[in-house]
Amino acid sequence: MAEKQENPLPTNRLKQIANDACDSALNGAEFYDHSQTGQWNNTIINNMLRAVISEAMPDKSAAPTYKFAVSSTIVQHLVPTSQLNKSKGTSTGTSTEGDTTDAATSSDSTATATATDGKPHIGRRGMHSATGAFWNEATDGIWSYKYDGGAKGLDIVVVLLWIAI
């Protein structure tokens, strides 16, 4: 069996690139906004690809040694709008005429439940993601990163795939 491939860049550097790409995409955003998710994903993917390709090819005249693919998934939290400093008037929830509360804020929660990690349990969605591939373990690989955008009511999962040329 072939020895497993190391990342094309150090793991700490990949984390920094992914974090910077997410920060850049969400610059100015205060909360999850479905109408912006397409643009956010495009920015994250393009910034990741630019940085990884640039840094994985130190000699710009050399032929690339990898093909790269990046995916970005934005997951909205079920957080009451009051916790995001978002006014109820901009809610994306449905309501009947004359009803000014949305479903997320209508429940009376005086005690906040916490998960095992100590973070508030209310409003966090579960998500499981898995990827499989058939490739050469000596030259190809995959890496994923979860960006915690909790204060904005979202998380982002970024996946980088590389295949040796």
pTM of the model: 0.70
Q: How does pLDDT run along the chain (165 residues), one tens digit per residue?
A: 556 667 899 999 999 999 999 999 999 999 899 999 999 999 999 999 999 999 988 677 677 789 999 999 999 887 554 555 555 444 444 333 444 334 343 344 445 555 555 665 556 666 777 778 888 989 999 999 999 988 888 999 999 999 998
Classify 2 as helix, strand or coil.
Answer: coil
Amino acid at 1: M
Distance CA 54, CA 31 (A): 31
Structural domains in the chain plus CATH codes:
11-78+111-164 (3.30.1140.40)
**Tokens (6 digits) for 26:** 């969400």
